Chains A and B, each alone.
Chain A
Amino acid sequence: MLVQDVLSLAADPAGLLPARQQMAFTLGWHIILASFGVAFPAMIFVAHWRGVVRDDATALVLAQRWAKVSAVLFAIGAVSGTVLSFEMGLLWPGLMGTFGDVLGLPFALEGLSFFVEAIFLGIYLYGWGRMPPRRHLLMVVPMALAGIVGTFCVISVNAWMNTPAGFRIVDGEVTDVDPWAAMFNPIAGWQFAHMWLAAYMLVGFTIAGVYAVGMMRGRRDAHHRLGFLVPFSFASVAAVLQPVVGHLLGGGLGDRQPAKLAAFELATTTESPSPLRIGGLLVDGEVSGALDIPVLGSLIAQNSFTAPVPGLDTVPVRDRPPVNITHWAFQTMIGIGTLLALAVVVYWALRWWRRRDLLERTWFLRFCAVSGPLAVIAVEAGWIATEVGRQPWVVYGVMRTSEAAGSYAGLWWLLATTVVVYTGLTAGAVLVLRSMARRWRQGQHDLPSPYGPQTRLSDEHPGREEP
């Protein structure tokens, strides 16, 4: 199915494809953990706040457990993020050498927010029982705020690649560099808002799903209800806002990146008004198997009954992105986004107006269990749509991805090694988290390390650490 897309890459230098796959794989892996870093602290804060301020023991236990989970997730998030810092230079010396001083400022500010996050994470994780409870609770707030700043910074760089700003090119040289203009480029704000909500959806649905599975297995206590409701509420707000923000982000795409919009909409020719094309494949220049809904394409993409989506035929062949991947990724994101938004609306509507709780229904719990993975897929699809849709450019209209790549032999080996290492990390994380959940279900709270003398020590000092 993707033969054509793959072939369109075949003309590029040999090191390009593995470098792109390497970047895509490590970024796609890291974005899941980064989402936890962004969104989890707020949820932990709500649970911890209920525990301390409202004296709710169930909530406090949740906060303690989530903090331990975050210790594992944030650690591998930090190291996989470092991988990306290195890869920016190792894989894309052409980009960093030429534009490092244009796009670097938000990265530097992001570094500062990493500091704040890491410092307060350390204090928070090790502060249980060692600080006055309310002060300890406050330690989560800077973590959550730093997560917002960090997200804006890193997304602003990606937005800059879509809408380059803050420099001019004169005789092939980059001049008039204004790093602030680069940082606050035209779509940085909307792209940030979109990813920020996406992080809340990913984490909210994933954690809620864990407790939904527990309820499906008959564990319907207060612990599970609260463990479900806190993240589910965050995810609900984000899911309802996301289509609106996504739509606003897409506004003007036809002017900024017409080739990307054409690929999103699978518009081979310019039609007025354009249909909304659902599904379908581009084979030999012909679209097959698509479902066309008349006029809707113009309406959604251009906010107009007549304005067309510019067709791929208006774009020179060498400037076209791989169409099928982009189209399917985009529609996967939209489809999942729509489905999740509808689902949460139904849930809360029934709960508020009909006083019916869908948590009693197994089918709804089943749906919640898969909502987390669906949100993960939506995030990955969104990134694929944005990134593949920008090709063949790394900096849209200015630098081609092939000019950014280094000239290395053996990058496939790097990719293979990375896949092995990351698979190991994934397996390790899943095993550790599952074993933690199992021990909690068995009534252990403290989870002492199996090699340490803490078991004995904590007998001597009952109640020092967690309940």
Chain B
Amino acid sequence: MTVELVVAMAMFVGLVAYAVFGGADFGSGFYDLTAGDAARGAELRTEIDESIGPVWEANHVWLVYVLVMWWTGFPTAFAAAMSTLILPLLLALLGIVLRGAGFAFRKFSATLSQARLYGALFAGSSLIAPFFLGTAAGAIASGRVPADGQGDRWSSWLNPTSLLAGAITVACCAFLAGTFLTADATRAGHGGLAAQLRRRALLVGAVTGVLVLGSLVPIARDAPTLAEGLTGRAAPLIATSILGGIGALVFLLRRRPAAGRVSAVIAVASVIIGWGAAQYPWLLVDEVTIADAAGAPATLRALLLVAALAGVIVIPLLVYLFRLTQSEQWARD
């Protein structure tokens, strides 16, 4: 295995982690948005505060990690993607900024009307950010980012693959969040809330499944290289993903949300990994391969060290954080 491939994989691991954990944080915006008025939504919104409050900033760093690995390891491809996709990325960025600020401000706001404003910002932008990130991913996957970065600023992300990818990203985030929040509410002993969340997570899961199935044909037509990989090399991962999704629904139905959460994570992680496997060896599909895009060898070796450090420092600490937040002591309130 070449150094650049290992670096690309280390970057991709970050992307998967962002999709799963960052995605679950974004997805909780959906339940917040649809929680009803202040009185009816109080319990759910408080649960969301408690559930994502300690972790969202750490989960968010995965995005920064992916960006810096990308621009350091594969600088020309990074510059090309950034130039072509400036519009969806700026919109995603707006969502990211308003989500974080809205969430932090809401928790400490003095009056209900202020909390409403910040809450709407938080919840709405939680859905905007993943949508536009999804469209950017769709643009790369469908070969719409040329190597010179002079791709069309509009049609590169306003096309069937991008738009469907955006919608699927939002749906997956919401489904992940549904299983996470149901599990958290169950563990905290909030039975009524857990039941309500479970119902909605099931609904979101069903919609997500239909959306994914319905997108297959349009995406296959629009993005042939990707489709070939998805049905070829990546087929086992896609199958895993489908099984994971079904498993998550079944576990939720059987009132085992903790297992449902694991299953949903498997579903989302394997579809993202499947996307990576399907477009290998391209970094920008049909335009630039990983090997062509690789930066200076000395830098790639240094990035291996960074990835190793992430493995020995960051991952154990994240595990510690997650274990704490999932522990008995932290759940009681």
Contact = CB atoms under 8 A, between A and B. Distances in A.
Contacts of A416: none
Contacts of A133: none
Contacts of A429: 101, 105
Q: Which of B54, B108, B320 has the most CB of A within 10 A?
A: B108
Interface in A99-123: 99-102, 104-105, 107-112, 114-116, 118-123
Given A76-B101, A179-B298, A451-B41, A97 B108 contact: no
B321 interface: yes
Interface of B: 38, 41-43, 45-46, 49, 53-55, 57-58, 60-61, 63-65, 67-69, 71-76, 78-83, 86, 89-90, 93-94, 96-101, 103-112, 114-116, 118-119, 149, 295-296, 298-300, 302-303, 306, 309-310, 313-314, 317-318, 320-321, 324-325, 329-330, 333
Nearest to B60: A78
Consensus secondary structure, chain A interface: helix
A83 interface: yes
A99 B299 CA distance: 11
Given A93-B80, A432-B110, 16 more contacts: A83-B97, A93-B82, A96-B75, A97-B78, A102-B299, A104-B68, A105-B306, A111-B64, A122-B58, A130-B329, A429-B105, A435-B109, A449-B46, A450-B110, A450-B112, A452-B46
B306 A75 contact: no
B6 to A, nearest CB: 14
A82 B330 contact: no
A76 B100 contact: yes
24 contacts: A68-B108, A75-B101, A76-B101, A78-B60, A86-B90, A93-B79, A93-B83, A97-B149, A101-B73, A102-B296, A104-B73, A105-B299, A112-B65, A112-B306, A112-B314, A115-B314, A119-B58, A127-B324, A406-B86, A421-B98, A428-B101, A436-B110, A453-B42, A454-B46
A97 B97 contact: no
A71 B103 CA distance: 11
A96 to B, nearest CB: 5
Contact of A428 (B54, B118, B119, B300): B118
A416 to B, nearest CB: 13
Contact of B306 (A89, A108, A414, A464): A108
Interface string A157-192: 000000000000000001001111000000000000
A377 interface: no
Given A68-B108, A123-B321, A100 B45 contact: no
A457 interface: yes
Contact of B68 (A111, A126, A408): A111
A287 interface: no
Nearest to A174: B296
Contacts of A107: 68, 71-72
Contacts of A453: 42-43, 46
User: For this complex, into which size category does the number of interface residues on chain A fall?
Assistant: 35 or more
Q: 7 tightest A-B contacts by CB?
A: A104-B72, A100-B75, A101-B295, A97-B79, A177-B296, A75-B104, A89-B82
A101 B72 contact: yes
A74 B93 contact: no
A116 B93 contact: no
A439 interface: yes
A96 B83 CA distance: 11
A86 B333 CA distance: 39
A101 B296 contact: yes
B115 A450 contact: yes
B156 to A, nearest CB: 14
Max chain A C-beta neighbours (<10 A), residue from B106, B314, B320: B314
B107 A449 contact: yes
B257 to A, nearest CB: 21
A79 interface: yes
A406 B68 CA distance: 19
Contacts of B306: 105, 108-109, 111-112
A98 B79 CA distance: 9
B313 A112 contact: yes
A101 B79 CA distance: 12
B89 A86 contact: yes
A141 interface: no
